[in-house]
Amino acid sequence: MLKIEDLRFSYSRRSAPVLNGVDLELRDGEIGILLGKNGSGKTTLFKNILGIGTPSGGTIRFDGEDLLKLPKRDRARRIAYVPQHIHFGALTVYDSILMGRVSYFGLRAGKEDYDVVDRIMAEMKLESFADRNAENLSGGEKQKIAIARALYKDAPFIILDEPTAALDPIAEAEIYSKFDEIAGNKTAIYISHRLSSCKFCDEIAVFHEGAVIQQGSHAELLADRGGKYYALWNAQAQYYTE
């Protein structure tokens, strides 16, 4: 379970708080999404979870452990991260995915590792790219590789920052249907500006001015006609409803 309570953060003592008492909860195996306009604090929350920046107050707990008190290496073992901007260097697609766990922790790959990578690549339709240079692929294919690498890392908690921004809606739907299937009991949370992706999520958290102002399922939030989510959904609905 991910449980964030009263999390506060400012980039300097003189600046206004970017996170202003964030409360958020996800149960094991749930997929959550953060919504909100640019500058509302979504990416800053991810940075705090990853250990980039020190909150001025509050707690971040995962499976009962206080992530803020863990050494960064121990925290890294519990979290797989898919960034918005991805660079793979000179690695092949296959090796880029393998870095998700084996190379990252200085382990030696065995048959079991290769079998897992093969399975994930097949499920995400990446087999034909295996020997190609990952850096030379399109933005959308890079995002698929980054998600595959995060899944292979096999961390219990996955964070995804705009993971499908370079994909068209059909490819995005395929990714999330596979992601839910492959991720199994892992807890995941991601940022997206496409409300159509909310249908893949168990929990939706709406950010505004550094705090979560609404949290619930799509049906629950849409029933609140005076809420922020209802307004956001109806502003975009013309693009993805029949």
DSSP per-residue letters across 208-222: ETTEEEEEE-HHHHH
pLDDT at position 131 is 95
Strands 31-35 and 187-191: parallel
> Residue holding tokens 């059909």?
170
Residue ranges, the chain, pLDDT below 70: 103-106, 237-242
Both tokens assigned to 20 = 């202003």
Report the distance separating Cα 36 and Cα 206, nearest Å.
Answer: 6
Q: Which residues contact 33 (CB under 8 A, 6 or more apart)?
A: 189, 190, 191, 192, 197, 198, 201, 203, 204, 205
Report the distance separating Cα 182 and Cα 160, nearest Å.
Answer: 15
pLDDT at position 7 is 97
Nearest to 86 by CA among 191, 35, 161: 161
Q: What is the pLDDT of residues 108-166, one digit of tens each?
A: 788 998 999 999 999 888 999 999 999 999 888 998 999 999 999 989 999 999 887 77
pLDDT at position 149 is 93
Any bridge partners for residue 2, and if so which? 26, 62
> Please, what sign has the CA dihedral across residues 74, 79, 80, 83?
negative
> Residue holding tokens 């499976």?
63
Report the distance separating Cα 242 and Cα 237, nearest Å.
Answer: 9
- pTM for this one? 0.89
Strands 19-26 and 65-66: unpaired
> Residue holding tokens 């980054």?
146
Q: Do the Cβ atoms of 166 and 83 come closer than 8 Å?
A: no
